[in-house]
Chains A and B, each alone.
Chain A
Amino acid sequence: MKVRVYVTLKQGVLDPQGKAIHHALEGLGFAGIRDVRAGKLIELELDDGAGDAQVEEMCRKLLANMVIENYRIERMEAAP
């Protein structure tokens, strides 16, 4: 079973990396960019029995820093 964890900065937390990407995109001539926020995507390959609670705990304990980040868990459909 594949699980994707998206880790993103909380709203209101300044994102220096997103800002740098924003500037770089504008430097390339792309117009109309209002904001850029950078985050992380972590893919986990888990035993089929792994429960939501376990993944939540992984996020809170290590994958996200709850002071500045949020996480979102996405379960991938098993390949047919």
Chain B
Amino acid sequence: MRSAVVVFPGSNCDRDLAEALRLVGGRAPAMVWHRESELPAGLDLVAIPGGFSYGDYLRSGAMAAQSPVMRAVSEAAARGVLVLGICNGFQVLTEAHLLPGALMRNSGIRFIGRDVALKVENSQSAFTARYAAGEEVTFPVAHHDGNFQADAETLDRLEGEGRVAFRYAGEVNGSARNIAGILNHAGNVLGLMPHPERAVEAAHGREDGRRLFEGLLEAVGQPA
């Protein structure tokens, strides 16, 4: 699988994500700096990592969404290239309008860093094909602005179209309908607040995230 990890000033999960892609996919991703206006040719996946892009000034992900590289990511997404945004990456994708809704300050105000149980709601997407629908998995979360909000009509549409990929098994950060991760209409863009890349090997304490990356390999015709 040919993949790239976008790096913004303030990204801090870019190397974790690159390592997960290398470990599971067997091939190191290209690291693409935010000033680049083009992505490497022939990519199967673009991954937007967690962190605090541009210091999260104004709003989390707002500045990064306007960076040159994000125009290239939007174009790639429109061509059907897989796009995965984790944590700050999810915030960037909503600010770039590749995904609906917004990520607001956690309802309890505090930063949350711990393992959380998630329910896989849709096992039909490229990102979730290696999970069973309704399966419970555990990923770590580490965020201050993970409170997903959208208007009721958008939420209904997401639910109706099976675009809620992951849901928190219990209340975590105030997210509407406990939504933890959503897909775009075409199903090739996933944004989620929890960190699958931090749960891919035994040393992490759990490996529930590994199958997300394995599913992507399968989707691009290179099963692990």
Q: Which residues of A contact B (CB under 8 A)?
A: 13-14, 16-17, 20, 40, 61-63, 65, 67-68
Question: A68: which of B106, B109, B149 is its contact (CB, 8 Å)?
Answer: B149
Q: How many Cβ-Cβ contacts under 8 Å join chain A to chain B?
A: 37
Question: B62: which of A14, A17, A20, A62 is its contact (CB, 8 Å)?
Answer: A62
Q: Which residues of B contact A (CB under 8 A)?
A: 58-59, 62, 66, 94-95, 100-102, 104-109, 147, 149-150, 174
Least distance between A38 CB and chain B CB atoms (Å) = 10
Interface of B is mostly: loop
By beta carbon, the residue of chain A nearest B94 is A67
B107 and A14 form a contact (CB under 8 A): yes
Least distance between B118 CB and chain A CB atoms (Å) = 22
Complex A-B: 6 CB contacts under 8 Å: A13-B104, A16-B104, A16-B106, A16-B108, A16-B147, A62-B66
Question: A67: which of B101, B147, B174 is its contact (CB, 8 Å)?
Answer: B101
Question: A16: which of B95, B107, B150 is its contact (CB, 8 Å)?
Answer: B107
Most chain-B Cβ atoms within 10 A of its Cβ — which of A13, A14, A16, A17? Answer: A16
A67 and B102 form a contact (CB under 8 A): yes
Give Cα A14 to B176, complex, Å. 10
Give Cα A68 to B107, complex, Å. 15
Enumerate chain A residues within 8 angstroms of B109, measured Cβ to Cβ.
16-17, 20
Enumerate chain A residues within 8 angstroms of B102, measured Cβ to Cβ.
65, 67-68
Give Cα A20 to B110, complex, Å. 11
A14/B58 contact (C-beta < 8 A), A62-B66, A65-B95, A68-B104 known: no
Most chain-A Cβ atoms within 10 A of its Cβ — which of B58, B62, B106, B147? Answer: B58
Enumerate chain B residues within 8 angstroms of A20, measured Cβ to Cβ.
109
B149 and A13 form a contact (CB under 8 A): yes
